[in-house]
Structure 1
Amino acid sequence: MADRPHFRFWPKGVARDLVVPHATLPEFLDTSARRYPGKPAFVFEGGIVTYAQLKQRVDALAAYLQQRLGIGPGDRVLLMSQNCPQYVAACYAVLRVGGVVVPVNPMCKQAEVGYYAADSGATAAFVAHELLGAIPFGDEPGKIAAAVVFDYAGTLPQLADDRLHPMEAAIAKRLQFDPEKTSPDDIAVLPYTSGTTGHPKGCIHTHATVVASLAASAVWKGLHAESVMLCVAPLFHMLGMQNGMNLPIMLGATAVMMPRWNAQLAAQLIEQHRVTAWTAPPAMIIDLFTNPEAQARDLSSLALLSGGAAAMPEAVATMLTERYGIIYNEGYGLTETASFLQANPLGRGKRQCLGIPSQGVDMRVIDPQTLAELPQGETGELVAHGKQITLGYWNNPAATREAFLEIDGKRFFRTGDLGYMDEEGYFFIRDRLKRMINASGYKVWPNEVENAMYDHPAVHEACVIGVPDGKRGETVKALVVCKPGMRSEYTEQQVIDWCRERMAVYKAPRIVEFVEKLPKSGTGKILWRELQEQHRASSMKEAA
């Protein structure tokens, strides 16, 4: 790696390799509680949980898991709720007894939760009271035998079912915890991928892989114990779990937590608590800074905005710099890499760029068919080697084999993302391997078209998809959410004409449709695949 061009622009004060702390996640909580017992660990809906209080709650819950539910090393436990301090206590209690956390999207239905329970082998769960209907209870394999239940106010109605255990009552018992021997190499969390093909797959992450990502991120971004972080990305997702929960606990910092996204409330909380750092996808950033509340609030405490999941549109990045003096630090990571993998150097970033490989990471570009490494400037599949990468997929050796390959004696993960490396060693993404549109033989990358469309004065959000076309095979369609008050100012055809003036004709959308909103995941990603399938089916029906 010594000859990699990005080392010429390596950030000062950051070591090129990564020495991963030999510790488990609960050990970081212990250290922070010892150093900062009275300091707010989490601020939530006007209340505060100090580090000492958090540790006490975690230890009491861990003892209850051990002695009442029989949860021990290696046992998988589902965790399903909105963001709240109870989620944090539950997660760290499972880890404290050597268990494995299986985070579940609170929007999942019972059939989906049933799949996670059966595939992971979980027999117990932590669940918010309003989500109990999604839990597949039963004594047979693949079912949940017992659940610890909580609500966000810390009070619960009477629970008549003996399979349900109220969290606050469990903590109040103050049972004595019998410490378990937990190693950094033990499995800590089993987050499931979104499942681009077939069923979602569980990514095996140990304490070591999770901590590797955290340690690299903290040093790269200059975060420390005095940082105040906004925690709003969902904790079931690695972006939220790592940046909104694990990272502040590791550093002894304070996290200001929101149960779900609300741009107006976010602006108020940033001002009130002097938030200094926030990691979020571009969709949330755009939503905040286009909200009138942001104009009325003092957001000057924000020193770092970072994230990934999609490229930040050029027009929005320019607005952040000119109006607020903030450079959005773009990075790149996946569920399989425990979030943080690479990023732009803080002092020398490039727009709409994945940045450079972070400490100890080796990133290459390969031909997805031949697997041969490609030269600078050529587009291929991004593959990565690093200490934060998943060990593989749970109970799925075939998927694990397909996802990894060996280059120069090192194990590389195939990301499924298409991109290229420029002459300075910075990486740029084209799109997902499965998202490319083939229009009359021309390759169209939806991300590129979307980013260009954000320059249009009426475009608030855009999603570009491929739909069937009798002559061209596929054609480019753009679904557009207009800025408030702008929908009546432009027609769809005017947007098409505007695009054709600014990009190659084969890239420009042939169809533009104005919509009220675009569906998003819990982390704010636009669900392009869902939209593409819906509109493809509609186009085929019309053609028939």
Structure 2
Amino acid sequence: MNQATSTHVVSTDDRPYARVWPARVPRAIQPPQTSLWFNLEVSARRYPSKPATVFFDHVMTYPQLLQQAERVAAWLAAHGVQRGDRVILYLQNCPQFIVAYYAILRANAVVVPVNPMNKTEELGHYITDPQARVAIAAADLAPALCAADAALPPEQRLKHLLVLHYRDAMPADAFEGDAVPAAWRDWLATRHPLPALTRGRVADWADALACTDPLPPHTVGPDDLAVLPYTSGTTGLPKGCMHPHRTLMHNAVAAAVWANGTAENVGLLVVPMFHITGMVAGMHTSVYLGATAVIMPRWDRDLAGRLISRWRVTHWTNIPTMVIDLLASPHFDQYDLSSLVFIGGGGAAMPAAVAQRLFEQFGLRYVEGYGLTETAAPSHHNPPDRPQPQCLGVPFIGCDARIVDPETLQELPVGETGEIVVSGPMVFDGYWQRPQATAAVFFERRGRRYFRTGDLGRMDEQGYFYITDRLKRMINASGFKVWPAEVEALMYRHPAIAEVCVIGVPDAYRGETVKAVVVLRDSARGTVGEADLIAWCHEHMAAYKAPRIVQFVDALPKSGSGKVMWRLLQEAERAAAGATA
């Protein structure tokens, strides 16, 4: 039986999944009791010439990554960033993302990662809610952030904005061959002028790298807040998830242990680093190991195929739609995937036929996992050598998971459906400045604090967990979580909409897609169509949130109390899809 090393650790020998637990993997670990920054410092000293990142074949070594992060940290400190301050990070995957992220940590501050797909109307909340006064943004995204900032009260606006270009991390000849997809050339090659803040100052990334100010002492530790990733909910207002260094450190180390990671890993880092999976299982695990991250700013199937072949990628965490897309490429026979030893991911179930093709053609078992922003990525994962198809896996290293009755919170027997609850060192501390929301998702049982995931599932006799439904009203579109209340709140700004209800509908490729059921104002009937509303939504919200289907109705179904009966619409849609299938 394991020795408990902290109040979080629980023996799992009495749980069903003890019988399928990988023999080489410990049930619990004791991660480093430091800030995440020290992982970069250690790897830079251990591997003075090793590639930390590859970006369109441009290599940045670990010492170069460290040196740049230190200079940006000095710039942040010189511009007033102090311990515990929140700093916005608003850009796509690129080496500068890692530099900026670790620079914020080195300055004793807190990273606020923002989805680069968000539009101006969505961005103001990410400035006001964490009380951020400094932001780091890509040049193509910075104008939207400045526009959102200008709409805020003067006392809530940004004081400093640091702007970077992706091309500055690319080789000089990047655009001469076919290394950059044609559709990306203008996006990556264009050099944008610096935007303006109404009350703050804007600086270029080069200025920060050239900063000669001294570094402040590094004073934060495991229990200090490290990152504030936002997740939405039934209210529609995104909530900041408070993750100290220790929660991310645990899962970064545990992910390395689970996948047999070493410094020789070469990972394809294409899942977004603003998202908890790319952040922890991609970036932090790679830096902890001293491994190499081959970075893609966005998904492109043929670029992925070339990079896996060129850099002999060994580990690839993804969402299933990426694998489906790559296998469907007309150029697929030109790519060499023989270097891959681990492929897996989550966000949606991998179709059985695709998983079978991976195994038959490459000997690769697709390893699915499950986790939330609140659990620092995985709370469950399939054993790499014994994965079950379309399954969440078993509780992750150090995690205790149960199936409980959603009403009574009493544990249910094996095979019965209930709410999945988890406890362990990866679980966040709570929602930023929302004590009531925090209290609603936690309960205590036998001295342990359990987090209510809001997902319904069951556990089989071997201890594998399966998801069956959701308690929370959420749409899962290709792994992106879409919260209907947030989409509805944005759509109500359209002058033609009287009422709207957003639901998820089955989609063969995305798993689910977003549908809006709309009641138009009398003055708009016959003049506003489906294409008009879809186009408007793409202008005012992130693309993955925007409805792909709009249905016009005369009235929405409502309960006796006047509440829109969204579940009735949802169930009718699923029934129709099932009948069609």
Give runs of aligned pairs for residues 378-457 of structure 1, distance below 5 A.
Answer: 378-434=416-472
Are 1:193 and 2:194 matched, yes or no?
A: no
Residues 81 and 87, structure 1, Cα contact 8 Å, conserved in 2 = yes
Paired with 2:118 and 2:275, the residues of 1 have a C-alpha distance of: 13
Offset of residue 245 of structure 1 = 1.4
Q: Show the counterpart of 1:18.
A: 29
Offset of residue 174 of structure 1 = 3.0
Offset of residue 367 of structure 1 = 1.2
Q: Show the counterpart of 2:95.
A: 85
Alignment partner for residue 106 of structure 1, among 105, 111, 116? 116
The superposition leaves residues 277-328 of structure 1 with CA deviations (integer Å, 9 ceiling, x where unpaired) of 0111111121112222222211100110011111111111111111221100
Alignment partner for residue 167 of structure 2, among 153, 162, 167? 153
**TM-score of the two chains, using structure 2 as the length reference:** 0.76
Residue identity matched to 1:144: L
Paired with 2:158 and 2:143, the residues of 1 have a C-alpha distance of: 12
- Runs of 5+ consecutive residues of structure 1 not aligned to the other structure: 437-445, 452-462, 466-474, 483-516
Q: Show the counterpart of 2:134.
A: 124
Do the aligned partners of residues 34 and 5 (structure 1) sit closer, same or farther apart at CA in structure 2, a change above 3 Å counting? same
Do the aligned partners of residues 300 and 22 (structure 1) sit closer, same or farther apart at CA in structure 2, a change above 3 Å counting? same
Residue identity matched to 1:92: Y
Give runs of aligned pairs for residues 308-347 of structure 1, distance below 5 A.
Answer: 308-347=346-385
Q: Show the counterpart of 1:284.
A: 322
Q: Show the counterpart of 1:513.
A: none
Alignment partner for residue 54 of structure 1, among 46, 65, 87? 65
Residue identity matched to 1:45: F
- Runs of 5+ consecutive residues of structure 2 not aligned to the other structure: 1-11, 170-190, 485-502, 511-533, 559-581
Residue identity matched to 1:64: W
Q: Show the counterpart of 1:510.
A: none
Offset of residue 198 of structure 1 = 2.1
Do the aligned partners of residues 145 and 262 (structure 1) sit closer, same or farther apart at CA in structure 2, a change above 3 Å counting? same
Q: Secondary structure at the match of 1:202?
A: strand
Give runs of aligned pairs for residues 426-505 of structure 1, distance below 5 A.
Answer: 426-434=464-472, 478-480=506-508
**TM-score of the two chains, using structure 1 as the length reference:** 0.81
Residue identity matched to 1:257: I
Q: How many residues align?
A: 468
Paired with 2:113 and 2:92, the residues of 1 have a C-alpha distance of: 11
Q: Show the counterpart of 2:158.
A: 144
Q: Show the counterpart of 1:496.
A: none
Residues 345 and 369, structure 2, Cα contact 8 Å, conserved in 1 = yes
Q: Percent identity?
A: 46
Are 1:300 and 2:310 matched, yes or no?
A: no
Do the aligned partners of residues 34 and 171 (structure 1) sit closer, same or farther apart at CA in structure 2, a change above 3 Å counting? same
Q: Secondary structure at the match of 2:429?
A: coil
Paired with 1:542 and 1:372, the residues of 2 have a C-alpha distance of: 36
Paired with 2:395 and 2:106, the residues of 1 have a C-alpha distance of: 32
Offset of residue 86 of structure 1 = 1.0
Q: Show the counterpart of 1:29.
A: 40
Alignment partner for residue 183 of structure 1, among 212, 221, 225? 221
Residues 110 and 134, structure 1, Cα contact 8 Å, conserved in 2 = yes
Are 1:172 and 2:206 matched, yes or no?
A: no
Residue identity matched to 1:29: L
Paired with 2:504 and 2:427, the residues of 1 have a C-alpha distance of: 35
The superposition leaves residues 418-467 of structure 1 with CA deviations (integer Å, 9 ceiling, x where unpaired) of 1000011111111222469xxxxxxxxx99xx99xxxxxxxxxxx9x9xx
Offset of residue 476 of structure 1 = 10
Residues 140 and 192, structure 2, Cα contact 8 Å, conserved in 1 = no
Give runs of aligned pairs for residues 240-279 of structure 1, distance below 5 A.
Answer: 240-279=278-317
Residues 56-65 or 102-111, more deviating: 102-111
What is the RMSD computed on CA atoms of the aligned residues?
2.9
Q: Secondary structure at the match of 1:141?
A: helix
Paired with 1:142 and 1:319, the residues of 2 have a C-alpha distance of: 53
The superposition leaves residues 82-114 of structure 1 with CA deviations (integer Å, 9 ceiling, x where unpaired) of 111111111111100110000001111223111
Q: Show the counterpart of 1:538.
A: 552
Are 1:208 and 2:222 matched, yes or no?
A: no
Paired with 2:208 and 2:51, the residues of 1 have a C-alpha distance of: 23
Residues 17 and 394, structure 2, Cα contact 8 Å, conserved in 1 = yes
Offset of residue 173 of structure 1 = 2.9
